[in-house]
């Protein structure tokens, strides 16, 4: 029998300690990195959004954001946390939490939700850019400074600052599973900004192309960056440095990350940022 997950705003302060526990479970946060429950509750009480996922009446995940205003985006929701306990990850709970947050924001007449994510984490990129339809043209170098959780320690905390134009046709197409097909060009080398080589399953950067003139540019990243971070710190740093060059270069040329694709025709899978010029967003 399929387990039923319920989603609702977290209004009872007595349950907010569970959010602190999820931060530890999902991300391996040390005490110094945990956002205290009283801070999260304060943002909720002042108009922010905290939505919890309940499985068998237990909180197994949550999404948290608050209201912001920065030009050129105007008023928006900044979505800071989207976390699910390890036991229940990869079950669609995290992405459904984003859908619930979008529903909440639309009801409050917001048109944009912004957040940051690591451009080298393929699973997050696939969900944010491909499934949800967020777009990015803003690269933040060392955005979080030095972090001390088990994943990020020793690695520059570069992030993409993304925009999710939640009422746009771009997003609506993605949410209805209407995706672009890059099959005809994915294997054409002239579209690839990062040329790679693989030895014993270890993907490395061979060379960069920073002057592609095509309307589509692919930027390959490892499918398993978390594993690289844990096993080969120097290679992880190299990937950070090289992808920083590529993404900042093409963002400066006016391109945005508009999609993220997985090539499942080979093993291990290959993962690519898709960059192009975004003509307009009807939001």
pLDDT, average across residues 156-177: 96
Task: Report the chain's mean pLDDT, rounded to a whole number.
Answer: 94
156 vs 120, 142, 149, 213, CA distance in Å?
11, 5, 13, 30
pLDDT, average across residues 265-271: 90
pLDDT, average across residues 10-36: 93
CA distance 181 to 196: 22
Strand partners, 192: 218
State residue 9's pLDDT score.
97
The CATH label, of 3.30.930.10, 3.40.50.1000, 3.30.450.260, 3.40.630.30, for the domain at 5-175 is: 3.40.630.30
Phi, psi of 147 (to 5 degrees): -105, 155
Domain map (residue ranges) of the chain: 5-175, 189-276
pLDDT, average across residues 104-116: 97
CA distance 83 to 120: 18
pLDDT, average across residues 236-240: 96
pLDDT, average across residues 119-146: 96
Question: pLDDT for 41-51, tens place per residue?
Answer: 999 999 999 99
pLDDT, average across residues 117-136: 97
Q: Quote the crossing angle between the two packed helices 17-27 and 37-45, to the nearest 10°.
A: 120
CA distance 36 to 210: 43
pLDDT, average across residues 129-149: 91
The pLDDT of residue 139 is above 90: yes
């Amino acid at each position: 029998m399929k387990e039923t997950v319920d989603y609702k705003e977290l209004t009872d302060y007595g349950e907010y300690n569970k959010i602190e526990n999820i931060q530890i479970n999902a991300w391996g946060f040390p005490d110094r990195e945990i956002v205290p429950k009283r801070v999260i509750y304060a943002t909720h009480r002042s108009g922010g959004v905290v939505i919890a996922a309940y499985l068998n009446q237990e909180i197994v995940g949550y999404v948290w954001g608050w209201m912001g205003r920065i030009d050129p985006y105007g008023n928006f929701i900044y979505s800071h946390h989207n976390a699910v306990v390890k036991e229940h990850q990869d079950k669609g709970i995290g992405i459904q939490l984003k859908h619930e947050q979008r529903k909440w924001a639309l009801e409050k007449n917001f048109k944009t939700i912004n957040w940051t994510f690591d451009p080298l984490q393929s699973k997050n990129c696939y969900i944010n850019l491909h499934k949800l339809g967020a777009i990015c043209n803003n690269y933040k170098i060392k955005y979080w400074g030095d972090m001390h959780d088990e994943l990020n320690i020793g690695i520059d905390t570069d992030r993409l600052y993304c925009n999710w134009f939640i009422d746009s046709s771009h997003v609506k197409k993605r949410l209805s599973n209407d995706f672009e097909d890059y099959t005809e060009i994915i294997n054409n080398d002239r579209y690839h900004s990062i040329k790679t080589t693989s030895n014993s399953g270890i993907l490395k950067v061979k060379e960069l192309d920073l002057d592609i003139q095509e309307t589509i540019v692919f930027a390959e990243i490892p499918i398993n960056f978390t594993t690289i971070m844990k096993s080969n710190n120097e290679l992880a740093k190299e990937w950070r440095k090289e992808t920083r060059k590529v993404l900042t270069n093409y963002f400066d040329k006016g391109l945005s990350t508009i999609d993220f694709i997985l090539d499942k025709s080979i093993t291990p899978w290959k993962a690519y940022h898709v960059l192009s010029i975004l003509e307009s967003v009807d939001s």
